[in-house]
Amino acid sequence: MSENKKIEEERKFLEMSKRISEITDESEKKITELSELVMLDLIKAIKCNCSTYCEVSKVLRVRKQDARWTGNQLMIQLLEVVEEYFEKEKNTLPLVMIKSKSQEAGGN
């Protein structure tokens, strides 16, 4: 194979590799954006429909079990991120707020 032909093939390969990289980067960006939207929708739905962290935990556990059963790895990952979000939220509540919530529920 001549030197010019090798150079031409290498140039074509580099161009193809660059195009694939651009497409992959764009796809990754779209997946990230959509994942964030789904995650925010999940958080909003959970906040609107669950009144306690116990309910949140139960909903997330059931949804993760369903996702594992169907093999939906993306949903499992999203639910784990949402779970982390609620754990952080729960752990950053001021003690006064926690006490007032427990008093509203009939605790001391």
> pLDDT digit string (tens) for 21-74?
888 888 889 988 998 999 999 999 998 898 888 889 999 999 999 999 999 999
Residue with tokens 């949140």: 56
Q: How many helices (H) and strands (E) does the chain have?
A: 4, 0
Write down the pLDDT at residue 81: 93
Helix, strand, or coil here: 71? coil
Domain ranges, ordered by start, for the chain: 3-104
24, 31, 38, 43, 84 from 71: Cα distances, Å:
24, 18, 18, 22, 21
Residue 107 has pLDDT above 90, yes or no: no
Residue 99 pLDDT class (50, 70, 90 cuts): very low
Distance of CA 83 to the CA centre of its chain: 10
